[in-house]
A and B are shown apart, each in its own frame.
Chain A
Amino acid sequence: MTLTLLEGALLVFVLACALGAAMLQDTLASVMSFAAYSLGVSIIWLILQAPDVGLTEAAVGAGIMTVLFLLALANTVSPDTDRLLEPVRWRSVLLVGAFVAVMGATVPALPAIGDPTAPVVGGEVTQYYLDNAYKQTDVKNAVTAVLAAYRGFDTLGEAVVVFSAGVVALSVLRREVFA
């Protein structure tokens, strides 16, 4: 596997931001690090030819989530910190390390990016969508065709999940209106 300079730099940036989000003691710094992480990941999605996912990551992960985190922080009291980094708990490191090792073990099984022989490319379902999406649904973006037409029922469920999230937030905070 070869990396271009941009990809390598982005991966290092994302890793550093993720570490920062986990390790920084100051919550505000941690939130900002998390936002930077999301922005880096969204650019990686773009490079991996997944602009739909990249847009979502940038708008939700880097945008809305950061704002909501900041608001939550503004409404809570954060303790004064004198240290830059959270003290390392070796048991957590062991646990996270084991998790990363398990996830990492699956990486060699993934096909190379853009590999024409990858199972999903030649798959019957993928091919059906690519061949028929425009004819059947009149939209040029195959992702949208799958999202709103072929898998429209699932998407209705997703939309209702977002709606329920709003309702649940209202009931948890014991409010009747969004105010």
Chain B
Amino acid sequence: MSADERPGLYVESTIIMTTVRVVAPFVLTFALFIMFHGADSPGGGFQGGVIAGSVVMMLAFAFGIESTQQWLDIRIVAALASGGVLVFAAIGLGAMALGGQFLQYTEYEPLLDHASKYGIELVELGIGGIVASVAIGLFFLLAAGFAHVAGEEQL
């Protein structure tokens, strides 16, 4: 979709670009902190994932949705979503393979100290990946508009 079709959606502004460039790394770090530290303080995968997703939205506001989309390989977003589900399920099924119940983290204890804690953090990270990528994906989907769907129905 070209810029002249939808005027006003993207405004190039030095102030916004500079601010986002400075703030984005901190927001991403904060998102990871919320995801990892959710085990010991408020937060977790759902919240951290949304914040991580908002980093991409911030970049899109500063540098334009089109260019952000080109910069960010969309396959990574899809891989994050599926990977999150797979990681979560694999941890759960792995515990069963070792002879325990689904998601019984203590089964990993012989392999790894504090297995529960790391298991939970990995699960949170998986959830974060799903939530972040779905948020980013919905953002790009909505930004692309619905013209193609309406066009098909008219045929």
The answer to whether A159 and B84 have CB atoms under 8 Å apart is: yes
The answer to whether A141 and B38 have CB atoms under 8 Å apart is: yes
CB of A70, distance to nearest CB on chain B (Å): 9
For window 121-138 of chain B, which residues contact chain A by CB distance below 8 Å? 123-124, 126-127, 130-131, 133-138
Q: For B146, list chain A residues within 8 Å (CB).
A: 75, 173
The answer to whether A141 and B105 have CB atoms under 8 Å apart is: no
CB of A129, distance to nearest CB on chain B (Å): 14
Known: A59-B47, A67-B57. A139 touches B139 (CB 8 A): no
| Interface residues as binary, B67-92 with A (CB distance below 8 Å gives 1, 0 otherwise) | 00100001101100110110011001
CB of B16, distance to nearest CB on chain A (Å): 15
The answer to whether A179 and B103 have CB atoms under 8 Å apart is: no
Question: Is the interface on chain A under 10, 10 to 19, 20 to 34, or 35 or more residues?
Answer: 35 or more
Measured in the bound complex, the distance between the Cα atoms of B152 and A56 in whole Å is 37
Q: For A12, list chain B residues within 8 Å (CB).
A: none
| Interface residues as binary, A129-170 with B (CB distance below 8 Å gives 1, 0 otherwise) | 000000011111101110111001101100110110110011
The answer to whether B120 and A144 have CB atoms under 8 Å apart is: yes
The answer to whether A148 and B124 have CB atoms under 8 Å apart is: yes
Partner of B127, one of A67, A155, A178: A155
Q: Is A100 an interface residue (CB 8 A)?
A: no
Add 17 more A-B contacts to A148-B44, A159-B88, A170-B141 (CB < 8 A). A52-B43, A59-B47, A59-B50, A64-B50, A138-B116, A141-B40, A144-B44, A144-B120, A152-B102, A155-B123, A163-B82, A163-B134, A169-B141, A170-B137, A173-B146, A173-B149, A178-B141
